[in-house]
């Protein structure tokens, strides 16, 4: 790599397992495809549309929760981890989905929600019935309240979704002392819920909780799933004594202090849990005929851990723990060249510390979609949701930048996560009426936080059909904005320059040129407002493969492209030059 001295990341390894460079597509089952027409997506709908993923060129899908749930938090409140909620279908539908995906050579990752259950979970119902100090209560974090009768919550923690992180389970109990006075038998008891009061936190110091989740892992591994995305992986263990914490509780922790300073996130005790899970998963790997392990059979754990700094994230992906952790640094980086370069460099460095692949993600069901986020002013922190009264994103600018951001992301080695509909350039719904909003964060905050409904809108498949082809009845659990019909799959398939065709090309070229396992070097002498990397692919045998340069222009004027064959651009060129907010891949001679 003669022109590129600043090596950021070495190439390889050539014979690595599938997950090291997999492109994984997040299906949010409520909103992908609705086979029974009730307005909520379901598993038969997913199965019926899996060819879309093959056509797109991804390697795997991750399904957000479809388990039995009262849906207080869209299924992240589980009552039965071993069954499918009737809203989404049956366990047979789950089996059929996994089988069909495997037939199509797609891996299947499911969501695991271990930090909390639903308050309707049989364990929690039993806990409410049981006395303080009972084994039933010991599966959760019940504590006596503060004050003489326990009328105050046990500590000052706030919930991620606003309001106190404690809910009173039972008032103080008194009885008659026989002399006409009352005697306090027991103070009021409260339970911890870091999210909604419908999501009581489990006590992970309890071996029964650990055994139960090991059994849940095995249940789904036996059904053939290829991995688990682990919800709130940084939250399972709380600091002993549950000390007060004055800051707001946010998933992303505290921006200017390491996350582990807070008593609810990133405690060292979580790692032992994941080492145990890794050992369980390894029992499920298959051997090749010659007796060596088959890397294609590896099952994976993916941490959702909003942890800072990057060195702490790396601890989750040490060789005997999880396989991947979501990397939110790139997603959070402001649209400025120095910030993007820092995010890319830090992400590669942090994961290289422990030999793990970096992951990349720009959108998911918890954040404003990047086609909308990048259409907002760069210096304004992105809100949790956008409403009709808020400044609206510049849709054209947002889409141009989103396509460029994806073009940079998919050039980079490691595993990339795509969120359903981003391949269509879908924006958020930014004018949802309040009365359709369902996110508990909206309701608990009294509307101060709009929440995440805007990024969870049902997917458009056919421009002319009812509900843009989400189903045949036209019912949708959240309304679709008018622009969704124009962005439907059938409006973009085969259309030159469409976002769908851009994604298909990026994924094909990424695979052909081995970018997922490439070495990365920063291109020397790049102007400060240009991001450019050279990617050195590797051949199957380990030899040097093709060289590719990715260039993203964040300056004010179009720039010259490097010498070589132009492979793909995120938008049209301007008289042969790369315009602002546009990225390109070039095959270097």
In the complex, which residue's CB is closest to ligand NOJ? 76
**Of 59, 73, 201, 231, which is the active-site residue?**
231
Which CB atom, from 234 or from 547, has the smaller least distance to ligand NOJ? 234
Q: In what order do the strands lie in the sheet with 582-587?
A: 6-9, 519-522, 530-538, 544-553, 582-587, 565-569
* String of contacts with ligand NOJ for each residue 202-231, x by CB under 6 A: -----------------------------x
Cα–Cα dist 501/492, whole Å = 7
Which CB atom, from 111 or from 298, has the smaller least distance to ligand NOJ? 111
298 is catalytic: no
Q: If you compute the radius of gyration of the chain from its CA atoms, what whole number of angstroms results?
A: 25
Full 3-state SS string of 176-231:
ECCCCCEEEEECCEEEECCCCCCCCEECCCCHHHHHHHHHHHHHHHHCCCCEEEEC
Among 67, 76, 220, 417, binds ligand NOJ (CB under 6 A): 76
Nearest approach, Cβ of residue 26 and ligand NOJ (Å):
10
Nearest approach, Cβ of residue 415 and ligand NOJ (Å):
18
Among 73, 226, 266, 581, binds ligand NOJ (CB under 6 A): 73
Beta strands in 519-572 (DSSP E): 519-522, 530-538, 544-553, 565-569
The DSSP code sequence of 463-530 is: TTSGGGGT-SS---SSPPPTHHHHTSHHHHTT-TT-HHHHHHHHHHHHHHTTGGG-EEEEPTT--TTE
Nearest approach, Cβ of residue 301 and ligand NOJ (Å):
16
- Contacts (CB under 6 A) with ligand NOJ, residues 420-479: none
Which CB atom, from 235 or from 579, has the smaller least distance to ligand NOJ? 235
Full 3-state SS string of 111-154:
EECCCECCCCCHHHHHHHHCCCCCCCHHHECEEECECCCCCECC
* String of contacts with ligand NOJ for each residue 96-115, x by CB under 6 A: -----------------x--
Cα–Cα dist 202/236, whole Å = 8
Instruction: State CA 228 to chain mean position distance.
Output: 12
Query: Burial of 556 by CB count in 10 Å (0-12 exposed, 13-18 middle, 19+ buried)?
Result: exposed
Nearest approach, Cβ of residue 304 and ligand NOJ (Å):
6
**Of 246, 256, 283, 556, which is the active-site residue?**
283
Nearest approach, Cβ of residue 445 and ligand NOJ (Å):
14
Among 110, 209, 216, 232, binds ligand NOJ (CB under 6 A): 232
Size, binding site for ligand NOJ by CB under 6 A: 9
Which CB atom, from 195 or from 533, has the smaller least distance to ligand NOJ? 195
266: contact with ligand NOJ by CB under 6 A: no
- Contacts (CB under 6 A) with ligand NOJ, residues 346-375: 365-366
CB 322 within 8 A of CB 303: yes
244 is catalytic: no
- Contacts (CB under 6 A) with ligand NOJ, residues 147-206: 195
Binding site for ligand NOJ (CB under 6 A): 73, 76, 113, 195, 231-232, 304, 365-366
Q: So which residues are the catalytic ones? A: 231, 283
């Amino acid at each position: 790599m003669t022109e590129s001295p600043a090596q950021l990341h070495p190439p390889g390894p050539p014979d690595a397992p599938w997950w090291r460079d997999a492109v994984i597509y997040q299906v949010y089952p409520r909103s992908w495809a609705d086979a029974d027409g009730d307005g909520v997506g379901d598993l038969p709908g997913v199965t019926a549309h899996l060819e879309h993923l093959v056509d797109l060129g991804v390697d795997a899908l991750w399904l957000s929760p479809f388990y039995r749930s009262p849906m207080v938090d869209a299924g992240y409140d589980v009552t039965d981890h071993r069954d499918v909620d009737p809203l989404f279908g049956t366990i047979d539908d789950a089996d059929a989905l996994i089988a069909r995906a495997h037939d199509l050579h797609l891996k299947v990752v499911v969501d695991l929600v271990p930090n909390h259950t639903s308050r309707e979970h049989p364990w929690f119902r039993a806990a409410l019935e049981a006395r303080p100090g009972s084994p039933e209560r010991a599966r959760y974090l019940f504590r006596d309240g503060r004050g003489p009768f326990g009328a105050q919550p046990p500590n000052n923690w706030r919930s991620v979704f606003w309001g106190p992180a404690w809910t009173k389970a039972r008032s103080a109990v008194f009885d008659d002392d026989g002399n006409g006075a009352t005697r306090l038998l027991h103070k009021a008891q409260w339970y911890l819920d870091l999210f909604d009061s419908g999501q009581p936190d489990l006590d992970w110091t309890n071996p029964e909780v650990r055994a139960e989740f090991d059994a849940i892992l095995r249940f789904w591994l036996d059904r053939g799933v290829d991995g688990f995305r682990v919800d709130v992986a940084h939250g399972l263990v709380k600091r002993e004594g549950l000390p007060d914490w004055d800051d707001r509780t946010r998933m992303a922790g505290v921006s200017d202090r390491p996350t582990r300073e807070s008593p609810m996130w990133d405690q060292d005790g979580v790692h032992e849990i994941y080492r145990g899970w890794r050992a369980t998963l390894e029992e499920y790997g298959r051997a090749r005929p010659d007796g060596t392990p088959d890397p294609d059979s590896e099952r994976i754990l993916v941490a959702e851990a909003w942890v800072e700094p990057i060195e702490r994230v790396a601890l989750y992906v040490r060789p005997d723990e999880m396989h991947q952790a979501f990397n939110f640094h790139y997603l959070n980086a402001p649209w400025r060249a120095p910030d993007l370069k820092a995010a890319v460099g830090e992400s590669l460095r942090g994961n290289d510390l422990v030999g793990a692949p970096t992951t990349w993600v720009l959108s998911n069901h918890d954040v404003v979609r990047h086609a909308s986020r990048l259409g907002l002013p760069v210096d304004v922190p992105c809100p949790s949701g956008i409403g009709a009264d808020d400044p609206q994103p510049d849709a054209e600018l947002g889409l141009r930048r989103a396509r460029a951001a994806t073009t940079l992301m998919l050039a980079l080695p490691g595993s990339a996560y795509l969120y359903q509909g981003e391949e269509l350039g879908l924006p958020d719904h930014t004018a949802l009426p309040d009365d359709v909003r369902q996110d508990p964060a909206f309701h608990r905050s009294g509307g101060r936080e709009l929440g995440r409904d805007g990024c969870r809108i049902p997917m458009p498949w056919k421009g002319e059909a009812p509900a843009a082809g989400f189903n045949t009845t036209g019912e949708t659990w959240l309304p679709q904005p008018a622009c969704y019909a124009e962005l439907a799959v059938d409006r973009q398939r085969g259309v030159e320059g469409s976002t769908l065709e851009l994604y298909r090309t990026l994924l094909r070229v990424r695979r052909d040129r081995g970018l997922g396992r490439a070495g990365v070097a920063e291109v020397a002498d790049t102007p400060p407002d240009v991001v450019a990397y050279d990617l050195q692919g590797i051949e199957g045998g380990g030899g040097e493969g093709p060289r590719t340069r990715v260039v993203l222009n964040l300056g004010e004027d179009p720039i010259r492209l490097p010498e070589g064959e132009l492979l793909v651009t995120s938008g049209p060129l301007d008289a042969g030059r790369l315009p602002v907010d546009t990225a390109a891949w070039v095959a270097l001679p």
